[in-house]
Structure 1
Amino acid sequence: MSDGANRLGSIELDQATLPSATAEIEHERRVAIFDLVEKNHFAPVGGGGGPYALKLSLQDSRLVFDITGPGFGKLHALSLTPFKAVVRDYIAICDSYYEALRGSSPSQIEAVDMGRRGLHNEGAELLRERLDGKIELDLETSRRLFTLITALHRRG
């Protein structure tokens, strides 16, 4: 776990603003949150130290980050438009990957997995670029946050 000064201590989802979800999608969201809180580097610009609490909501095609910490509070709205293609492609390749696990050869599974990892990295890098100057994230935190964003897009 990271030190308390630059990390997320909790994440809450504003369920009223999110698409409805099946039990499976709710589980994906909970796992993504657990993984993200378990290990992360999260440093909002101007923050005096954490741990930080993050509440995520969707408003007008934007992901709103409501960040609070000791003596700190900040809102950031992130347009999701630049993420549409990579999220759509990532969800599709994840579905292909799970399908491949059910009966494809090891080389086919490996090929799909390489594509899945590449899209995951692409989404994580895009997220870091879009949050540059607002929130500092390391690559692994960005990957975990992108996983959560993808889970928020899935509909039941």
Structure 2
Amino acid sequence: MSGAAKSSEPKSPHRLTVVTLDEESIGRGNPDQEHERAIAIFDILEDNSFTVPGREGPYALTLGLVESKLAFVIKREDGEAVMTHLLSLTPFRRVIRDYEMICESYYNAIRTASPTQIEAIDMGRRGLHNEASDLLRQRLEGKVDLDHDTARRLFTLVFALHWKA
């Protein structure tokens, strides 16, 4: 498995200390995509709030795909299995498609558009990202408790899954 990173600071037990992408199910992206994945993992590990109700943390998370579903394989930091939760990606299809289009517009605008146009596109991109993170939190409700920023960063990794196709 690649994409693993580990936090070095002792913090709250209600957090992720390891995040890994299952390379066998996700595949590798181009260098820019791999960089985006690495940044998202780094950001998650720097600051997150993640709790499996009734189960002690800190946690290690492996994200992958199982039969077109998003797999959250959650273990305690010491390797003890906590749970595997499969999420249908169907509710995310529209927001992923829209987010991909707006990101493409944003990257194209950076080269040619005015700062005002770039800012307007970026506001739309952030709005979609927030919508997707809210959807992720809703879909995980009762299984995993996470804050808004952690959900945003995890959506970045969920969005990265479409790069395999």
TM-score in same-fold range (> 0.5): yes
Q: Tell me the distance in 1 between the aligned counterparts of 2:106 and 2:17.
A: 32
List structure 1 runs of 4+ shifted beyond 2 angstroms. Answer: 1-4
Q: Tell me the equivalent position of 2:150.
A: 141
How large is the RMSD of aligned CA atoms in angstroms? 1.7
* Letter aligned with residue 55 of structure 2: G
Task: Say if 2:135 is the partner of 1:94.
Answer: no
Unaligned runs of 5+ in 2: 1-8
Equivalent pair of 2:26/2:164 in contact (CA under 8 Å): no
Q: Tell me the equivalent position of 2:43.
A: 35
User: What TM-score does the superposition give when structure 1 sets the normalisation length?
Assistant: 0.92
Equivalent pair of 2:28/2:34 in contact (CA under 8 Å): no
Task: Say if 2:13 is the partner of 1:13.
Answer: no
Q: Tell me the equivalent position of 1:62.
A: 69
Q: Tell me the distance in 2 between the aligned counterparts of 1:18 and 1:151.
A: 9
Query: By how many angstroms is 1:46 displaced?
Result: 2.1
Equivalent pair of 1:93/1:112 in contact (CA under 8 Å): yes
User: What TM-score does the superposition give when structure 2 sets the normalisation length?
Assistant: 0.87
Indicate the SS of the match to 1:9. Answer: strand
Q: Tell me the distance in 1 between the aligned counterparts of 2:72 and 2:120.
A: 35
Q: Tell me the distance in 2 between the aligned counterparts of 1:135 and 1:61.
A: 20
How many equivalent pairs are there? 155
Unaligned runs of 5+ in 1: none
Indicate the SS of the match to 1:154. Answer: helix
Distance 1:94 1:137, change over 3 A: same
Query: By how many angstroms is 1:29 displaced?
Result: 1.2
Kindly provide the CA deviation profile for residues 21-54 of structure 1, in whole angstroms up to 9, marking residues without a partner as x.
2122122111111111111000012212x21001
